[in-house]
């Protein structure tokens, strides 16, 4: 298992060279450690899961919050961590490059930059600017010499612009601008996924759990599968069900489904004190 930051980065890049792997998304150090214990070869942060753990809505955290979070995740596990770096917390390419450079200092092995503006009226950056932003992230990584994997995301299918032709246009341009991996969250149809895989080949494609099994996605040529905030939502769902049972029924049946204290203490044994 890789132990140094450099080792993690080499291992993460190698995962993208063949086969298909699942990149689950922890929301804090504890969930990252748990996923490592289950044998996953890499993990990725989730902007939504992180925000919810801080009592905030998705996309309502600061750059400083995210950098601290990424530093904690990367230090917690011996496997590579990919950063959900949202829109790189900047609109202009120079700002993207500066913030990506700071993200590289957290110890992550990969990071993604998306073309979503967060503005309902114009949810995607203009095409040319979107490509320039990816190129700026590529240049920042190249200057660093870190070998961090750059994933470029086109958000149309989850930002109210579900246009496959435009999505493919953007992803192929991002690939030409230097992205190592391409990602269009929200694709559901196998035919759409296969079209994206063909369009950017031989570069690897990440998908966000579309309801298809890992084997089916592998058959489509998908290289990487992430789950976004789904694990965090599953955890919050069980928490809220248990709490509602207490508040509404005055019973505690949900606790029978919880992990034991002994199991959790064994999982986290040996962690250093602050």
Q: For residue 25, give the nearest of 65, 53, 57 by alpha carbon.
A: 53
Does the residue 270 lie in any domain? no
Residue-wise pLDDT for 144-185, tens only, equals 999 999 999 999 999 999 999 999 999 999 999 999 999 999
Does the residue 168 lie in any domain? yes
Does the residue 273 lie in any domain? no
Does the residue 18 lie in any domain? yes
- DSSP-based three-state secondary structure for 111: strand
Q: Residues 230-257, buried b or exposed e (16+ Cβ, 10 A)?
A: bbbbeeeeeeeebeeeeeeeeeeebeee
**What DSSP designation does 122 have?**
S
Residue-wise pLDDT for 19-53, tens only, equals 999 999 999 999 999 999 999 999 999 999 999 99
pLDDT given for residue 271 in this prediction: 74
CATH number of the domain that residue 209 is part of: 3.20.20.60
Does the residue 150 lie in any domain? yes
The Cα–Cα gap between 219 and 20 comes to 9
178: left (phi over 0), alpha (psi -120 to 50) or beta: left
Does the residue 124 lie in any domain? yes
Q: Is 197 within 8 Å of 167 (Cβ atoms)?
A: no
The Cα–Cα gap between 21 and 11 comes to 13
Does the residue 82 lie in any domain? yes
Rg value, the chain, Cα = 19
Q: Does residue 202 have a cis peptide bond before it, meaning omega lies within 30 degrees of 0?
A: yes
CA 106 to chain centre: 15
Q: Is 72 within 8 Å of 43 (Cβ atoms)?
A: no
The CB density around residue 53, as the number of other CB atoms within 10 Å, is 16
Arithmetic mean of pLDDT, 225-233: 98
Percent of the chain with pLDDT over 90: 96
Q: Count the domains in the chain.
A: 1
Q: Is 107 within 8 Å of 74 (Cβ atoms)?
A: yes
The Cα–Cα gap between 176 and 130 comes to 12
Structure tokens that stand for 32 in this block: 């990252």
Instruction: Report the mean per-residue pLDDT for the chain.
Output: 97
Task: Identify the band that residue 1 occupies on the pLDDT scale cut at 50, 70 and 90.
Answer: low
Which residue segment(s) compose the domain that 201 sits in? 5-228
- Report CA torsion sign: 178, 180, 230, 89: negative
Residue-wise pLDDT for 248-272, tens only, equals 999 999 999 999 999 999 999 977 7
Does the residue 144 lie in any domain? yes
Task: Give the relative orientation of helices 127-144 and 93-104 as an angle to the nearest 10 degrees.
Answer: 30
């Amino acid at each position: 298992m890789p132990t140094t930051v450099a080792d993690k980065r080499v291992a993460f890049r190698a995962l993208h060279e063949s086969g298909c792997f699942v990149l689950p998304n922890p929301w804090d150090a504890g969930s990252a450690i748990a996923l490592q214990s289950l044998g996953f070869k890499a993990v990725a942060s989730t902007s939504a899961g992180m925000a919810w753990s801080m009592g905030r809505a998705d996309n309502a955290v600061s750059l400083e919050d995210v950098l601290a979070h990424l530093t904690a995740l990367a230090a917690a596990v011996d496997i590579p961590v990919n950063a959900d770096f949202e829109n790189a917390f900047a609109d202009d390419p120079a700002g993207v490059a500066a913030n990506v450079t700071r993200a590289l200092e957290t110890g992550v092995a990969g990071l993604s930059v998306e073309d979503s503006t967060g503005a309902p009226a114009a949810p995607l950056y203009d095409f040319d600017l979107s490509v320039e932003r990816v190129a700026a992230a590529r240049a920042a990584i190249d200057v660093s010499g870190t070998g961090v994997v750059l994933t470029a995301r086109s958000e149309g299918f989850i930002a109210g612009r579900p246009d496959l032709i435009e999505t493919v246009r953007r992803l192929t341009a991002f690939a030409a601008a230097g992205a190592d991996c391409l990602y269009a969250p929200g694709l559901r149809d196998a035919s759409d996924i296969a079209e994206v895989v063909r369009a950017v080949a031989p570069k690897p494609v990440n998908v966000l759990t579309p309801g298809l099994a890992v084997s089916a996605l592998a058959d489509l040529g998908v290289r990487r599968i992430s789950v976004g905030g789904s694990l965090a939502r599953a955890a919050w769902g069980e928490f809220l069900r248990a709490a509602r049972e207490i508040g509404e029924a005055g019973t505690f049946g949900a606790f029978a489904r919880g992990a034991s204290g002994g199991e959790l203490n064994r999982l986290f044994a040996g962690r250093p004190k602050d």
